[in-house]
Amino acid sequence: MILISSCGKKNEEVTKEVFRPVKYTEVKLSGGEKTRGFSGTAKTEKIINLSFRNTGIIVMLDMKLGQKVKKGDLLSQLDNVQARLNYESAIESKNSAESQMNTAKLSLNRVRTLFEKGSTSLSDYESAKNSYRTAVASFESSKRSVAIQEEQIKFGYLYAPEDGSIASVVAEVDENVSPGQTIGVLNAGTAIEIEIGLPESVINNVHKDMPVKVSFTAIEDKIFDALVSEVSSSLDNNTSTYPIRVTIIDKDERIKSGMAASVVFDFGSVVSNEKQLVIPPVSVGEDGDNRFVFLIQGSEDSYTIKKQPVKLGELTSEGFIIKTGLEEGQKIATAGLQTLLDGQKVKLN
């Protein structure tokens, strides 16, 4: 009898089912909210890439990270060897052209005198005038060349175009640089802007000078007032959103370029009161060209997984809008979709 009792207990333990725990959420209605929040990144209103307009080797570099500069400050300088050689060559060409012009003028005066006395022909006189005109044109061209080469020397000096602070330095002294090559970045201006992308569902409710609220994860317990400064009229194909810019009204030295920000819009009564089913993106799986969720069915004693095809709408800040396939109050899995099976028994976690 003892042996029979022991065998019965072992068989009971073997046949006992193990239900896998699964995280879940309930399908809920959403929409008609007066406020919506979107994430963005802070930046100064004007970011200038600093570069030379000439080629050469950097011989002076007065730029450090965070350095405050004033408009007109000399930030860097090139050796300008090639520019100086070109300038000297242009000076020599100008002097030569001036000498030829003076010679042509003397020749013209001499031929004019002979022509007036009848000692030379009209063709000789016209030839002398043409030679003088050519010499004058050559001299004027050489003067312009000198001015251009003088400007080229100035291009070897880099001055701060605006008041601001140095955000980055990407060059060193003795480095050979090309025209247009960025050697540093200047954050100009005092205003801070936030760049965000808005979905098509709310873009028509946003307009320029619309007041918004901005908060930063790096600055706790502080909400900043801001205004919408720019609203794009075309879709950004990379993000499938409409880019806008928000300018912060309040000034605070703690706000730094690159900080993560949250922008909250108060749409008031302009937002539609229509409610829609919304589910989190983590609950959606993809099987070929079809989207699905794992629907949790059953009672408290026994839950079963069912692979449920769904038709999705647009992605909002709260999740995907459900067009067909689900109803309010149904339970769906939100984790481990790759390991769940259709018909598998689970317990709620």
What's the CATH code, domain 35-45+190-270? 2.40.30.170
Residue of 187, 308, 338 whose CA lies nearest to 253: 187
Give the pLDDT mean for 16-32: 76
Give the pLDDT mean for 333-338: 83
63, 169 Cβ separation under 8 angstroms? yes
Residue of 90, 85, 134, 89 whose CA lies nearest to 108: 134
Question: Which 8-state DSSP code applies to residue 19?
Answer: P
Average of per-residue pLDDT values in the chain: 86
Q: Say if residue 191's pLDDT is above 70.
A: yes
Q: Say if residue 278's pLDDT is above 90.
A: no
75-114 burial code (b ≥16 CB/10 A, e <16): bbbbebeebeebbeebeebbeebbebbeebeeebeebeee
> What stretch of H or E contains 7?
helix 2-15
pLDDT band at 175 (very low <50, low <70, confident <90, very high): very high
Contacts of 182 (CB under 8 A, 6+ apart): 49, 50, 51, 170
pLDDT per residue as tens digits for the range 290-330: 889 999 998 777 889 999 999 988 777 677 888 888 888 89
Which CATH architecture fits 49-78+156-184?
Answer: Beta Barrel (2.40)
pLDDT, position 1: 46
Torsion of CA 89, 91, 92, 98, to 10 degrees: 150
pLDDT, position 177: 92
pLDDT, position 342: 87
The listed CATH number (1.10.287, 3.30.70, 1.10.3470, 3.30.420) that belongs to domain 81-154: 1.10.287
> What stretch of H or E contains 84?
helix 81-116
**Residue 27: burial class (beta carbons within 10 Å; 0-12, 13-18, 19+):** buried
251, 190 Cβ separation under 8 angstroms? yes
pLDDT per residue as tens digits for the range 105-120: 999 999 999 988 888 8
| Alpha-carbon span 51 to 158, nearest angstrom | 7
pLDDT per residue as tens digits for the range 222-277: 899 999 999 998 988 888 889 999 999 888 888 888 888 999 988 764 444 556 78
Residue of 66, 94, 62, 84 whose CA lies nearest to 75: 62
Q: Say if residue 22's pLDDT is above 90.
A: no
Q: Is the pLDDT higher at 213 or at 239? A: 213
Question: Could you tell me the fold of the domain covering 18-32+275-348?
Answer: 2.40.420
DSSP string of 306-339?
EEEEEEEEEEETTEEEEEES--TT-EEE-S-TTT
Q: Say if residue 91's pLDDT is above 50.
A: yes
Token readout for 134 is 């050519």
Q: Say if residue 205's pLDDT is above 50.
A: yes
pLDDT, position 315: 75
Residue of 192, 175, 152, 200 whose CA lies nearest to 54: 152
| Alpha-carbon span 235 to 53, nearest angstrom | 35
Domains of the chain, residue spans: 18-32+275-348, 35-45+190-270, 49-78+156-184, 81-154
> What stretch of H or E contains 97?
helix 81-116
pLDDT, position 128: 93
